[in-house]
A and B are shown apart, each in its own frame.
Chain A
Amino acid sequence: MIKPAVEIHDLTVAYREKPVLWDIDVVIPEGSLCAIVGPNGAGKTTLLSSILGTIKPASGWLKIFDQPIEESEELIGFVPQRESVDWDFPVEVLDVVMMGTYRRLGWFRRPGKAQHDWAMECLEAVGMADLHRRQIGELSGGQQQRVFIARALAQDARLFLMDEPFAGVDAATEDAIRHVLEDLKRQGRTVILVHHDLQTIEQFFDHVLLLNLRLIASGPTMETFTRKNLLRTYGGRLTLLDEAAEAVRRIRTGGGGGGGS
Chain B
Amino acid sequence: MIHLLSPEGWEILSVAACAALACGIIGPQLVLRRRAMLGDAISHGVLPGLVLGFVFSGSRDLFWMMIGALIAALLVSFLAEWLRDRAGLDGGAALGVVFTSLFAVGIILVEIFARDVDLDPGCVLHGMVELAPLDQIEWLGRSIPRSLVPVMIALGLNIVVTLLLWKEWKICAFDPALANATGLPVRILEQGLLALVAVTSVACFEAVGSVLVIAMLAVPATVAHLLCNRMGSMVMVSVVVGFLSAFIGTISAEQLDTNVPGMMATTSGFFLMGAVLLAPGRGIVPRFVRRFRWTLRVAMEDLLAEAQLCAEKSRPAPARQFLSMRGLATILLEIRGFLRAGRPRGQGQRIAQALLKKRGLWRRFAAERLGLAPDHLDEPAHRIEHHLDEDLTRKIETGLDSMRD
Contacts and interface: CB of A to CB of B under 8 A. Distances in A.
A259 B386 contact: yes
A244 B388 contact: yes
Nearest to B297: A257
A244 B381 contact: no
Contacts of B355: 259
B376 A244 contact: no
Contacts of B79: none
B387 A251 contact: yes
Contacts of B2: none
A189 interface: no
Contact of B395 (A25, A240, A257): A240
A261 B350 contact: yes
Interface string B285-302: 010001000100100010
Interface stretch (B48-56, B119-127, B367-375): B367-375
Interface residues of A, number: 27
Contacts of B384: 244, 248
Interface string A6-39: 0000101000000100110100000000000000
A251 B388 CA distance: 10
B228 interface: no
Nearest to B391: A258
B216 to A, nearest CB: 32
Contacts of B376: 10, 23, 25
A83 interface: no
A248 B12 CA distance: 53
Given A214-B370, A259-B387, A254 B290 contact: yes
A240 B386 contact: no
A247 B294 contact: no
Interface string A44-81: 00000000000000111000000000000000000000
A73 to B, nearest CB: 28
B392 A244 contact: yes
B381 A58 contact: yes
A22 B395 CA distance: 21
Contacts of B83: none
Interface in B353-395: 353-355, 358, 365, 369-370, 372-373, 376, 379-382, 384-390, 392, 395
B399 interface: yes
B389 A259 contact: yes
Given A247-B389, A254-B290, A259 B301 contact: yes
A252 interface: yes
A244 B388 CA distance: 7
A114 interface: no
B58 interface: no
Contact of A10 (B369, B370, B379): B379
Contacts of B385: 259
Nearest to B90: A88
Contacts of B396: 240
B232 to A, nearest CB: 23
Interface string A223-261: 000000000000000101101100110011110011111
A66 to B, nearest CB: 20
A247 B381 contact: no
B351 A261 contact: yes
Nearest to A59: B381
Contact of A260 (B286, B290, B354): B354
B399 A240 contact: yes
B369 A240 contact: yes
B354 A23 contact: no
A240 B365 contact: yes
B369 A12 contact: no
A241 B381 contact: no
B388 to A, nearest CB: 6
Contacts of B353: 261
B183 interface: no
Given A240-B369, A247-B392, A12 B381 contact: yes
Contacts of A238: 370
Contacts of B347: 261
Nearest to B390: A258
B281 interface: yes
Contact of B381 (A22, A88, A240, A243): A22
11 contacts: A10-B376, A23-B382, A25-B373, A25-B376, A58-B381, A60-B379, A240-B369, A248-B387, A252-B290, A258-B388, A259-B354
* Closest 9 pairs (CB-CB, A-B): A258-B389, A59-B381, A12-B381, A261-B354, A261-B350, A248-B387, A247-B387, A10-B376, A59-B379
Interface of A: 10, 12, 19, 22-23, 25, 58-60, 88, 214, 238, 240-241, 243-244, 247-248, 251-254, 257-261
Interface of B: 88, 281, 286, 290, 294, 297, 301, 347, 350-351, 353-355, 358, 365, 369-370, 372-373, 376, 379-382, 384-390, 392, 395-396, 399
Given A23-B372, A238-B370, 20 more contacts: A19-B381, A23-B381, A25-B376, A58-B381, A59-B379, A59-B381, A240-B369, A240-B395, A244-B392, A248-B387, A252-B294, A254-B281, A257-B297, A258-B389, A259-B301, A259-B388, A259-B389, A260-B351, A261-B347, A261-B354
